[in-house]
Structures are given as structure tokens and as C-alpha cells.
Structure 1
Amino acid sequence: MKWPLSVRLFLSYAGVVVVGAGVAYLTIRLLAPHLFDQQLSMMNGVGVGGMSMVGATTGGVHSAFDAALTTALLVGTSASILVAGLVAAMVTRRLLHPLDAVRAATRGIAEGSYGVRVPLPSEPELAALATDVNTLAMALADTESRRVRLLGEVAHEMRTPLTVLDGYVEGLIDGVFPPEPETFASLGEELRRLHRLASDLSSLSRAEEQLMDLHPVDGDLADLTRRTALRLAPQFQDMEVKLEVKADERVPVCVDPDRITQILTNLLGNALLATPAGGTVSISAATVAGCGQVLVTDTGLGLAEADLDRIFERFYRVPGSSRRSAGSGIGLTIARAIARRHAGDVTVASAGPGHGATFSLVLPLRPNDFRDRPARP
């Protein structure tokens, strides 16, 4: 049977005291009579074994000293053990009280009470443990908040196309909408929107859980940039937005070309939607500070400082945006997740509303910098 920690701590303290007291007792008990005899012999000038009154007197004093010493040792040792026991109990209680608080907090966290906090004790080691538990509670609270918010956002995103579909179906049943190709085309558009939302949510889930399949190969980031810009050029022409490409320098990287193309497509698509007719979007690829960097700059709506971080949140859209993307609102979230899976990142900078924005994709150049995490099936 394994004893509780409190009992083991108490016994460990008490054991140290008992051993110390025993050693002290034996040491004094064995050495004191011998030393006393030596001192007494030097004072009288006669050996301990002499046949004199001094010897007899010495024997009586020796016996008295031995009895007094034994009694004193027993009383002192008992008192020391008692005091040591009390001190051990106090120290044990002081050590276990923060651990009891940690246990109570972890039970509360397991039950869903993420607001519990462990008071920081004075001991550095226990304070570090309490700090870690508090950090865990805050992280779980943030995760739960994001989960609840995600459910609400998904429900909101699905509500609009479902409402439109429901209206069209009821209209067809009641004869309000004629069964013509235009009506079915509108139905198909809403169905595609739902399908796109489901596909984006699946990609986001796999990206955040690090389950996204990656197939890294040696490639040229500048070449990927040029090909993506060339493929999207007709859309810029239709929207009367000028597209400038600066990707002449070779930028060797080890990446999944399909995933990086997905990021570049998203960044260029967002820049196109944010830029009015007559504006300009430029994309460039170069080697900067030992990394490959792609910059996508537009002369469009721009971003407020409060939106610079939130724009990468799921389903977040810039307030007051006059042009609404047909996407699900999680493209940038997926783009950043893909970049970070490649040991890179996607960031944004803007001088403010009305001054455009610059999105930056940064990736490591050297193949050994690629964090190859095998994907789970």
C-alpha cells in the first residue's frame, strides 16, 4: 500500500531528525565518559585504575555523571524529536496546501470551469507549477471561446444560403418562381456556396489540427508567383485593376507548390476585391534576410490598426467594407496555417483605411529549414 504524500513527507522529515538525534546520543554517550575520565585524571594526577580515595571518589562522580548524562540525553532527544515532529508537520502542511489548490483547480478545469485560478505560493517551484496551471486554464478558456464563436459563425454563414434556397423552393412550389433555367441557376449558385463553405471548413480543420497533407519539393517561389499572377490576370482585366508582377530573381524553396499557389491565389484575390477600378495591385518575389518573400500590395480599401491581427481570424470581415467576397471568410486563416506548416508566415501591414495594404508571405530558403511533419491519415 502506497502512503499519501503528506505521510511520506512527514516521515522523511521525522526520519532525518531521528537519525540526527540518535547519532548525537551515541556520540555523546560514548565519548563523554572517556573525556570526563581524562579530565579528572589530569586534575588529580592519578590514573583511573589507582587504589586510592581519589579513585573511589572518581568512580562515584563517574557514575553520577553517567546517570545525569543519560537522563539529559533522553530528555533532550525526546524534546528534539517532539519539536522536529511539529516542525515537520507545519512544513508538510505548508507544502501540501498549494498542491491541494492545484488539485482543486485542475478538477474545476476538467469540469469546464476555466475561470479558476491558483494562488501563487511563495516557493518558486510551486509558484511555477501554479503559473503553468493558470496558463493552461486561460488557454483552454480561449479555445472554448473560439469553439463557441466558430459554431455561431458557421451557423450564420450557413443561414443565408439556406434561407435563399428555402425561399426559392417555396416559391417554386407556390408557383411564384417559374421553373426556368435562371431560377435553377440561382439555386445552383447557393448550393455551390454551401459546398464551398463545407470544403473550406474541412481545409481549416485539417490545417489547424496539422493534418493537412503536404508534399514538399524543391522549387522556385518566383516561378510560382509568376504563374499564379498569369492565371489570374484575366480577372484583373475584367475588374479594370492593373496587375504588376516583379518576380525575376530566382527564389529557391522547398514547399508544396499546390499549397503555396493556394496562398498566392487567396492574397491576389483579396487584393483584387479590395481595390476599386483604376487601382493597382503589385506582386513581387525576392530573397530578403535569408528567406523567400512574396509581397502583395494594393491601392484599395486599407486596414485599420485594430483589423491587422483580426483579419486572420475565422469569418472575420473588415467593418464597413463596401465589397463583399463570395468566399467563406476563412481564406486568410487557411493561408496563414499553410504558411506556418511550411515554417513560414503570412502577415499584413497597412497605413490605414484608404491607403491600401501589403500582405507578406515569408518562407525559409534552405530545405533543412522545412519542418516536415508527417500527416496523419
Structure 2
Amino acid sequence: MNRLWVRLLLSHAVVAVVAGLTAYLVVRAVAPQVYDHEARMMPGHGMGAGQGMRAVAVAAMNNALLVGVLAGVVAALVAGAYGSRRIMRPLEAVSHATHQLAAGRYEQRVALPRERELATVAEDVNTLAARLAETETRRVRLIGEVAHEMRTPLTVLDGYVEGLVDGVFTAGPEVLDEMAGEVRRLRRLAEDLSALSRAEEGRLDLRPVSTDLAQVAAGAAERLRPQIEDAGVELAVETASPLPLRGDPDRLAQVVTNLVGNALAATPAGGRIVVRAALHDGSAEVEVTDTGVGLAEADLERVFERFYRVGPRAGSGIGLTISRKIAEAHGGTLGAASGGPGRGAAFTLRVPASAGP
């Protein structure tokens, strides 16, 4: 009985029954009075022939039916208006809620109606509101974090500049190298934000060429080996070369670098990171596994959302978003798997080996 189509069907049936019953009752009540009135108005009342009586009966019935139909229409309109109002009230609540969400009031929620279909729509709106509220919270937090990330190198640079002006420091190689490091840090942050913007708008700049994904993956992992070994983590690179495809080697290397970097951030000293590249079901695959903190099931997809971060050592929360966009731009996918918290994680990049972006 809580299905919308059932309620609509029943409402129409009720309208029809009410209209018909009203017409019947009105005709039954009015027809005798109309007949008597018409009979009295005829000349020679009491002496009329059968033809005259027939005309009286037809006129009486026609008039009675006209009144009955009008009464039935009015009753049907009343019943239909009532039923429509009962159905439209939840829809109006949903419409009001969506306008509130569009105005930025993400705390708005819709009460669930009894009808199952309308309740599903209301639940979807409530879910949308919750997700928008979370996104807004992450956006505000990201702005604060970006401001903090920018403030730190700017403070360092400001200190060095003041020291140089005041003669506290000399413009030697060591000081200039420190300043250059802070400038590079700012540039990386700006490049990440710019790449995220382009990825969200579908404007990633790809330069596809014939390349070997195994070689790209191995090269990206080996560039991080000194940093990984300094952290006391073991790195194993297992590649089955060649894995030919048409793609942008720099962008693909960016994905692998991000995956390995995230694995390092999630893996404590004594852990292990493995980078594997192989051909599987017509796709060139790169899998990066670690023995780190792992992921909860609820985080397996959310880690790819912009600004979403897991753990205190996570970065800005946009690297995996960009990486997935790069994979999709190559006609591939990027997914995550984990046995749960404390059981490590695996990220797999899949790109069609026989088709380019």
C-alpha cells in the first residue's frame, strides 16, 4: 500500500467510485420529484396519453442525470484534489530542500514520506545534502591547509630575505639552496592545485606516444628508492617488460610516483613496498602494494575523492584524484583494495595495452 503507483491507482478508483455513487444517489433522489413536477405542468394532467407520459419520463430522467453528472464531477474534483494534495506534499518538501541545498544550507533534511518511491527520492536528497556538507567541510579544511602549506615556506623565505638584507646571512650556496627548496615546495603545491583543476574540467594535457608501461613504472619507483630506503622500508620492483601502449609517459609516471609515495607515507619502518607491472587480460597493469596501515572498506573509494585524506601522514588529498583522472584519460582505471586497517593496501593501475587515449 506504500507504493506510489498503487496509491495513484487507488486514488483514481476512489474518484470514479465516488463520482458514480454520487450520480446514482442524486438521480435516485431527484428523479421522482422531477417527474412529478413535469407531470403536473402538462396540460390535461390526469388525462394524458401514454406518449405524453413517456415524454415526461424522458425529460425527468434527462434533467436528473444532468444534475447527477454535475454533482459527480464536483465530488470527483474534491476527491482528486485531496488525493493529489496528499501526493504533492512530499514532492513540495523535496523541492524546498533542493532549493535550500542550492543556497548552501546543507543541513537541510527531508522527512521520509510513507510512499516507497517518494521515500527513496527523499533519502537520495538527504544523502546528497550530507555529501555536499562533507565536501564543503573538506573544502574549507583544504583552504586552511593550503594556506598553512604556503605560510610555512613563505615564512622561511621571508626570514632568509630579511637576514640577507640585515647582513645576518650571506648569499652563499647553502642559504640559496634552502631558499630554492622552499620555492620548489611552493611550486609543487601550485602545480598540484592546477593539475586538480584541469583534471576536474577534463583538460589534462596529454602527449601520447608509444611507450613501455613497465619501464615507466620501474623508472618512477627507482627514483624514489633512496627516499624509501632512508625511511627503513624495503622496495621491490617486479616488472615483465615490455608492456607497450600508447600514452603519456610523464603522466603515467606521475601516477606511479603518487602511488609509491602514498605507500611510503602509509608504511612504517621495517615494512615493504612492491611495484609489479604485468600484462593481464589485454591490459597493462601496475600494482603497488604495501604492508602499511591499510584502508577500511568505506575508504576504498573515498580515497579517490578530492581533498579526502586517510591518516596523519597523508598529503593534500588531491594526488589520487588526479591519478584516477589520468588513468581515465588513458581509457583505463585506478582502483584500491585492502584487507582492512593494519593489513596493508594495494592500488592497481590498468591501461588498455592495445588502445591509446
Q: Secondary structure at the match of 1:116?
A: coil
Distance 1:97 1:275, change over 3 A: closer
Distance 1:117 1:295, change over 3 A: same
Tell whether the 8 Å contact from 1:244 to 1:282 is kept in structure 2 after alignment: yes
- Measure, in 2, the Cα distance between the counterparts of 1:126 and 1:277: 53
- Aligned AA for 1:338? I
Alpha-carbon distance, 1:344 to partner: 0.6
- Superposition map of 1:346-365 within 5 A: 346-347=335-336, 349=338, 353=342, 357-365=345-353
Match of 2:293 among 303, 306, 311: 303
Deviations 1:45-80 (A, max 9, x none): xxxxxxxxxx96422431332233133213312221
Tell whether the 8 Å contact from 2:235 to 2:272 is kept in structure 1 after alignment: yes
**Alignment pair present for 1:337 and 2:325:** yes
- Measure, in 2, the Cα distance between the counterparts of 1:282 and 1:340: 23
- Measure, in 2, the Cα distance between the counterparts of 1:240 and 1:189: 24
Tell whether the 8 Å contact from 1:241 to 1:276 is kept in structure 2 after alignment: yes
For normalisation by structure 2, the TM-score amounts to 0.70
Unmatched 5+ stretches in structure 1: 1-12, 29-54, 373-377
**Alignment pair present for 1:262 and 2:254:** yes
Distance 1:233 1:140, change over 3 A: closer
Distance 1:150 1:60, change over 3 A: same
**Alignment pair present for 1:188 and 2:180:** yes
Deviations 1:75-126 (A, max 9, x none): 3122212212212322343343334323322321222112223334455665
Name the counterpart of 1:97: 89
Unmatched 5+ stretches in structure 2: 1-11, 28-46
Moved more, 306-315 or 68-77: 306-315
State which structure, 1 or 2, has the greater radius of gyration over its C-alpha atoms: 1
- Measure, in 2, the Cα distance between the counterparts of 1:253 and 1:100: 53
Distance 1:250 1:160, change over 3 A: same
Name the counterpart of 2:7: none
Aligned-residue RMSD, C-alpha: 4.1
Distance 1:82 1:230, change over 3 A: closer
Alpha-carbon distance, 1:164 to partner: 1.8
- Aligned AA for 1:303? V
Deviations 1:128-165 (A, max 9, x none): 55455444434433332232122112112112112222
- Superposition map of 1:255-294 within 5 A: 255-271=247-263, 281-294=273-286
Equivalent residue pairs, number: 315
Name the counterpart of 1:211: 203
Name the counterpart of 1:33: none
**Alignment pair present for 1:248 and 2:240:** yes
- Measure, in 1, the Cα distance between the counterparts of 2:248 and 2:200: 17
- Superposition map of 1:110-129 within 5 A: 110-122=102-114, 126-127=118-119, 129=121
- Superposition map of 1:23-34 within 5 A: none
Tell whether the 8 Å contact from 2:93 to 2:110 is kept in structure 1 after alignment: yes
- Measure, in 1, the Cα distance between the counterparts of 2:161 and 2:134: 40
Distance 1:131 1:272, change over 3 A: closer
Distance 1:201 1:315, change over 3 A: farther
